[in-house]
Chain A
């Protein structure tokens, strides 16, 4: 899989005075499903376009496999890009679309047709070869785009939010299919998305970007369970945030004084006393003290609103001037009737203390 590795070394991109991507080192391992996650304008598409060759980095080198591709044009790189709007050729039939890359390489027509049929088989679109793209549904067009990109046998497949135009059901279905195709082909997938759900469900590893910088690169579980920065913590999934100051440090944990109480959490950043800190708790890790009287961090909160999400109930509460969100599993009927003032709490192992910084919602 070494041949499919992508390495950025000190790569940056500036447009005039605007720095789209700060100098970045990033290694995407061969054969992995790698997502770059971030809000719009964070520079993720710029990175993708630099890997694909449409943008030349202002500084740094890009290597794919053993070859330095920094100076190569997009048509000479072992990459294939799937565009956000797919960019199928509307005046060509499905199979001509799929075989376009082969046509550009001078493969004879019969061979092209055969390869196209194979690829359409792979993406579960047999028998559609002679249709025009406009005659296909959204999901089918998606598969044609994948087949077209795979036809050139790229070392790296780059996907620029290709699922964003689909409706939820189809999107979930296509996630599974993309993942399956990636497993089958062993090609390195670099997937750009602003949808953390998409990134979490499909990826082996994720890079979270913000304002032209990569905040964290880690495996999916680590991104979710041990975010490195306040931005990652709040961008990936939901977090309750309490700002405060460290008042005590003890064997890997930190005591944080916040306006709504003094809480203990994992001292991931190794903060010292008096440091500005933020303590993060996932809504699903908050519980009613009445259900779990043993938990350490406790506070009083008043229920403001309840939203039924289906599997769980989203309970919006207020503690002092802070709003707190709690997810209560929808079993029994207690969750649906929760009201008034409540004593809630969370375990120290479920709380993360990080150095104060920028949040995703700010």
Chain B
């Protein structure tokens, strides 16, 4: 601290400390605390209380609609009496007709069983009959209204009494979502493992390349894909995997597919596609940490092991891999976190066609269902899973934070 002031002066030091404080508190701690808080507060949307309130509201609307119909029918009867019953055949459009289908759908979908269903009289019935049945419906609804109101208020009071921190966001998560959560972790883990299997030989080859030109060339080859925007990289795969995309066309050109005849392999409709694109999209996050650690390995150690009679496999297992452990840990953590939280890859590669990625569920809860609390709970789950993964990797590889930072 006193060192800092001596080096940078009190003003700069103060500014840096202030900005650091703002960053840590404002950009890390507060949002996280907020997210965790939300995750444990259950807001029952579409729950019983809400449902009851909706039902009460709907019943009131129904009554208003029926009142309107009654008035219209009474007017019709009055007109019929004056005009000699010219409209009695139902030829004139009834004002109630435009409402009828909507009301019908609404009633069959939202009104719970047991609630009086407003039966609509057939259009062919006489206005008097229709008026009679409308009035009967209205009376029934009116009668149920009191009960609905009482139920809605009771549930609301109960809910308010129950509001507070609970695990309900987690316990009420559907089995499907849990399965997606599990599958996302399994897939992310597999992406990580596959990335490692692909990257380790590459990183080793680049790190062991002897001539500087060759190293430069290999590095360039690795970096160029990363100079391209991530979205474009993913879209490249969209182009490749589309029904009339490059891959299917290539298959068609060798006669394996009949594109013109409507044959196509729906590559994007599988998690395999997402999986494959993810490996491509995140592979460099694995290559570079591993490359960096292998590069620092004294080549003499490899030669010494070889000289002492070790097989290639043993050299890697006993000398290179242990040395590269911190790099592998960093690469695995990055790849896993990126895969588990990826929204762009599952979102762009065949959206809706393949089974969901957990990040998409979170996205939908936040921005489509508008249920931030459930979304927060799910985000927290993902956060915990990733943290557990980091700790597991660190203990598995027996590397400390300090080694990783190095």
Q: Complex: how many Å from CA A87 to CA B305?
A: 9
Which of A72-80, A164-172, A193-201, A335-343 forms part of the interface with chain B? A72-80
When A75-B310, A104-B310, A104-B311 are in contact, do A85 and B303 touch as well, CB less than 8 Å?
no
B301 contacts A74, CB within 8 Å?
no
What A residues does B318 contact at CB under 8 A?
Answer: 89, 92, 100, 103
Residue B300 lies at the interface, judged by CB distance under 8 Å to chain A: yes
When A85-B300, A89-B319 are in contact, do A79 and B308 touch as well, CB less than 8 Å?
no
What B residues does A87 contact at CB under 8 A?
Answer: 298, 300-301, 303-304
- B172 to nearest A CB, angstroms? 49
B305 contacts A81, CB within 8 Å?
no
**B298, B303, B308, B314 — most chain A CB neighbours (10 Å):** B308
What A residues does B322 contact at CB under 8 A?
Answer: 91
Which of B304, B306, B308 touches A73 (beta carbons < 8 Å)? B306
Which of A53, A76, A83, A151 touches B304 (beta carbons < 8 Å)? A83
A148 contacts B308, CB within 8 Å?
yes
Q: Complex: how many Å from CA A75 to CA B314?
A: 12
Q: Complex: how many Å from CA A105 to CA B314?
A: 11
What A residues does B311 contact at CB under 8 A?
Answer: 75, 104
- B385 to nearest A CB, angstroms? 30
Q: Considering only CB atoms, which chain A residue lies closest to B298 in the complex?
A: A87
Q: Considering only CB atoms, which chain A residue lies closest to B305 in the complex?
A: A100
Query: For window 279-336 of chain B, which residues contact chain A by CB distance below 8 Å?
Result: 298, 300-301, 303-311, 314, 318-319, 322-323
Q: How many residues of A contact B (CB 8 A)?
A: 26
What B residues does A81 contact at CB under 8 A?
Answer: 303-304, 307
A83 contacts B308, CB within 8 Å?
no
- B310 to nearest A CB, angstroms? 4
Which of B305, B309, B314, B323 touches A91 (beta carbons < 8 Å)? B323
Residue A152 lies at the interface, judged by CB distance under 8 Å to chain B: yes
Residue A101 lies at the interface, judged by CB distance under 8 Å to chain B: yes
Which of A54, A75, A89 touches B309 (beta carbons < 8 Å)? A75
- A79 to nearest B CB, angstroms? 7
When A89-B318, A89-B319 are in contact, do A101 and B300 touch as well, CB less than 8 Å?
no
Which of A53, A85, A91, A100 touches B308 (beta carbons < 8 Å)? A100
When A87-B303, A89-B318, A91-B323 are in contact, do A80 and B298 touch as well, CB less than 8 Å?
no
What B residues does A152 contact at CB under 8 A?
Answer: 308-309
- B32 to nearest A CB, angstroms? 37
- A197 to nearest B CB, angstroms? 25
A80 contacts B308, CB within 8 Å?
yes
- A214 to nearest B CB, angstroms? 24
Residue A255 lies at the interface, judged by CB distance under 8 Å to chain B: no
Q: Complex: how many Å from CA A104 to CA B311?
A: 7
In the A-B complex, the 10 residue pairs with the closest CB atoms? A87-B300, A101-B308, A87-B304, A104-B310, A104-B309, A83-B300, A75-B309, A91-B322, A74-B307, A81-B307
A–B Cβ pairs within 8 angstroms, 13 of them? A74-B306, A75-B308, A75-B311, A76-B309, A83-B303, A83-B304, A87-B298, A89-B319, A91-B322, A91-B323, A100-B310, A104-B308, A152-B308
Known contacts A89-B318, A92-B318; 15 additional CB pairs below 8 A are A75-B308, A83-B304, A87-B298, A87-B301, A89-B301, A91-B322, A100-B305, A100-B308, A100-B310, A103-B318, A104-B305, A148-B304, A148-B308, A149-B308, A152-B308
